[in-house]
Structure 1
Amino acid sequence: MTAIATVKAVLYHRVWFGLIKLVTPMSDETFFINSFFGKSFSGNPRALFEGLIEKFPNSDYIIVLNDEQARQTVKAQYPDINIQFVARHEKTYLKALARAKYWIMDINFPFRLKPHKNGVFVQTWHGTPLKHIGNDLPDDNDFKRLTAREPLNWDYFVSNAPEDNWLYERAFNLKQTKIMSYGLPRNDYLAKHKDDRELVASLKAKLQLDATRKTILYAPTFRDDEPTFKLALDLEQFEAQLGDQYDLLIRLHPNVADQMPDIAAYPHVHNVNRYASIEELYLAADVLMTDYSSVFFDYALLEKPIVFYAYDLDKYQDILRGFYFDYQAFIPGPLVTDNQALYTLLSQGLTAQTTKAFNQLHNANTDGSATQKIIQEVWKV
């Protein structure tokens, strides 16, 4: 960040927001919910919202959501709930933030924006980390410096499992007392519906997928050194080699989801970046294909095949990020590093590698009750 950008951030976040807080009373009945800065209304924040509206149906819920059509959809889904939508840099954004006592977010959030003195910040995060985050990023990663002080504002942090609390303690300098290890709220849905064949069939129909074909969900992470996303798949080869067996759903990381390449020429390849619920995509998919994304932690709950397509493993491991675990020993599925090996593996058919031991460690306590337990701890209801 340049010196000018830093000054602007200080004026906007600290000075201007500080003035807005002075003239905006905090409401004990208002919740501010932010998932990926409004790119979607999903994940842990949405799961908590759905639990909260059962306990506090008359409260006010401010949801960061950018797309007007998405706003209309959400409002139609919850017609009896008091919902206000905002987007970053709208005039109403900072005032809405100042009014809310409870902040629920899954993203890095500017440290100069702090709740009122008696406000409560619940950081749900957005995925169990395999790759380094926070303090463990390389020293030349600008994001490390920009986000280092953010955890000082968090009152609660949602962890996937006690086994991995050390990651969050180290990455964010968190005290154990701030960490809630009940599992991830978004995974309550998977825990409750993983064996629901009727639901899976309805989701495939909703996605207009042929029930007689297998479905692959490809969900890679982003690369810090790629300002423009590059799809590392040969789609012509996919159609030629696997098009008679599989449909391929592509779901990019929210940081690059708006950079999806044109796939119109490939009839069995589908862009699902705008599909609201990745949990529904997990259920609909017969196979997950990923690289270093946290998606495999969640998908492992379903005990279905996972393929790890790590085409730039050495670079990612040694230069870009690094990992908290020994990647090749840790991942619960086969590893391939090039297109041909990937498509050959898929053409041979896959059976699920057991994830029971993996889940006992990294998805411990995921029994469908995480949302309820978190609400009970934070809101005492």
Structure 2
Amino acid sequence: MTMLRLEKNNRLRKINYYKRKALKPFNLSKWVIKYKVSQFLSKFIKTENVVLVGERLGQTANDTSYFLFKKACQTKTKNNFYYVINKKATTTSNLAGLPNVLHYGSLKHFIYFNKASTYVYSDSLRDVFHHWSDVHKEHSHKKKIFLQHGIFATSRAKGYYDRNSMLRRHELPDKFVVSSTYEEKLLQRQFGFMKNEIAVTGLTRFDYLPKNNDKKHRSILFMPTWREWLTNTNDDAFIKSEFYKKLTELFLSKDINELLAKYNYKMNICIHHQLKKHIDNFKRNFSNIEFFCIQEINVQELIIACDLMITDYSSASFDVLYQKKPVIYYQFDSARFFATRGGPLICPLTEFPGPVTKTLDSLIDELKNLLDNNCQPSSRYVKAANKFFSYRDNNNSRRVLQLIEGEK
């Protein structure tokens, strides 16, 4: 049955690939025409000081850009904020009741992209316009604020978020938002940014996290990072990968499931959006393990509800650390991962804000220790985590808005 499903999925992917290839010339001319029309129509829009906000190529409203927009809608501002999102995106519901929401790719989106004086993005400038690389020259004079979608420390993102790479993609921001003076120094030393290009404000989504979350929810959040070398793999190749084997080994582990039963805990698995097409390969009839896709849920609810996190390299670990909750890093393929992305910005032996494990057995040992101690992180890791937060005052969004508004 599984082989039949694999063959069907592969066949559909091939059909869609050739369909996209055949339609590419038509789609290109279609967006160019829309863009030219929108340039003309934007001259008739009376609204000034437009700030266009987006994240993850317009696919979500649950990350740093969304939380900034939410704050802007609750605040009296000099600028007019607009949020762009795919109308079919699951998290569009988070924008219900908020004004100035544009559908990604619509003519109205194109018009306000041309009208905007400032772009705010969490991943790339394609968050606010898919064809940014084709039109960047006409908009290079506009203000650009890069919010990040997480603190850079555990994963370098080599060749993408360093200054030279962003400059090469014409995405160099006027301000690169960070969460601490410690992170600011890391970006200057290792990413090549200048001090005046960095703003220490804190991430906007941290404002909606409890600073001291003492209530126990009896929940563990497992949030693995994507591997670039698995991009565009079919199901057959994916289930043969080390990544798939290590993850299923964890889910099916007798020791893990016994620990969950013994301490009356459940495990929520939040997978990267690149994994969505493979999610059926993971699903089993688990009584205490549940799967979610990052694109389709409010990730922050899972982060707030967890008592501890297991991840490999995810920057989302800092959302958990912000709440003074423990994180275990399970890095079974660190050599290959860091060879692809570049090593972490901090020392993996002494500076990680949680224990770093390489094997399932060592992960189980660390997990048992934390469950035995009611999920209280050790003082060593609390101290390591605190360096990454200059603010814990829930005013990060306000500081970013002041940055955009030109206030001190």
| TM-score of Structure 1 vs Structure 2, range by shorter chain | 0.7 to 0.9
> In structure 1, what is the equivalent of residue 115 of structure 2?
99
Q: Structure 1 residues 173 and 13, CA, compared in 2 at 3 Å: closer, same or farther?
A: farther
Counterpart for residue 149 of structure 2? 126
Partner of 1:324: 345
What amino acid is aligned across from residue 352 of structure 1 in structure 2?
P
User: Paired residue for 1:353?
Assistant: 378
Q: Which residue in 1 is equivalent to 2:333?
A: 312
Unmatched 5+ residue regions in structure 2? 1-20, 126-131
Provide the secondary structure at the position in 1 that maps to 2:53: strand
Indicate conservation of the 8 Å contact 2:50/2:112, yes or no: no
Q: Which residue of structure 1 lines up, in the alignment, with residue 16 of structure 2? A: none
Q: Which has the larger radius of gyration?
A: 2
Cα distance in 2, alignment partners of residues 99 and 314 from structure 1: 46
1:21 aligned residue: 39
- Once the two structures are superposed, residues 111-158 of structure 1 have per-residue CA deviations (whole angstroms, 9 ceiling, x without a partner) of 444374763221101111122235478xxxxx9997552465522221
How far, CA to CA, are the matches of 1:339 and 1:316 in structure 2?
Answer: 17
Q: Could you list the runs of 4 or more consecutive aligned residues of structure 1 that deviate by over 6 angstroms after TM superposition?
A: 7-16, 143-146
CA RMSD of aligned residues (A): 3.6
State which drifts further: 20-29 or 274-283.
20-29
Give the AA of the match of 2:184. N
- Percent of paired sites with the same residue: 17
Q: 1:257 to 1:97 in 2, by over 3 A?
A: farther
Provide closer, same or farther for how the CA distance between residues 14 and 48 of structure 1 changes in structure 2, counting only shifts above 3 A: same
Match of 1:333 in 2: 354
Say which SS state the counterpart of residue 82 (structure 1) adopts. coil
Query: Are the equivalent residues in 2 in contact too, given 1:220–1:251 (CA < 8 A)?
Result: yes
- The structure-2 alpha-carbon separation of the partners of 1:75 and 1:183, relative to structure 1 and needing over 3 Å to count, comes to closer
Report how far residue 13 of structure 1 moved: 9.0
**2:176 maps to amino acid:** F
Residue deviations 1:254-310 (CA, integer Å, cap 9, x gap): 443453344241121112325543333222101110111112223212222211111
What per-residue deviation string (whole Å, max 9, x for no partner) do you get for residues 144-188 of structure 1?
997552465522221121212244346665332221102111112
How far residue 249 of structure 1 moved from its aligned partner, in angstroms, is: 0.9
Give 3-state SS (helix, strand or coil) of 1:40's partner: coil
1:208 aligns with none
Q: Which residue of 2 aligns with 1:293?
A: 314
* Structure with the higher fraction of residues in helix conformation: 2
**Separation in structure 1 between the aligned mates of residue 345 and residue 30 of structure 2, nearest angstrom:** 36
The count of corresponding residues between Structure 1 and Structure 2 is 352
Q: Does the CA-based 8 Å contact 1:41-1:276 persist in structure 2?
A: no
Q: State how far apart, in whole Å, the 2-side matches of 1:151 and 1:366 are.
A: 33
Deviations 1:23-74 (A, max 9, x none): 5237425332211112320221112112211224994523223535532x23
Q: Which runs of 5+ in 1 are unaligned?
A: 138-142, 202-210
Q: What SS is found at the alignment partner of 1:165? A: helix
- Deviation track 1:194-243 (CA, whole Å, cap 9, x = no partner) reads 3355xx57xxxxxxxxx5xx211111211121124644322222564334
| C-alpha contact 1:134 1:148 (8 A) present in aligned 2 | no
CA contact (8 A) 1:304 1:353 kept: no
Alignment partner of 1:237 is 2:289: no
Q: Give the direction of change, closer, same or farther, for the CA distance of 1:189–1:70 in structure 2 (3 Å limit).
A: closer
CA distance in 1, matches of 2:313, 2:363: 16
**2:253 is paired with a residue of what secondary structure?**
helix
1:367 alignment partner in structure 2: 393
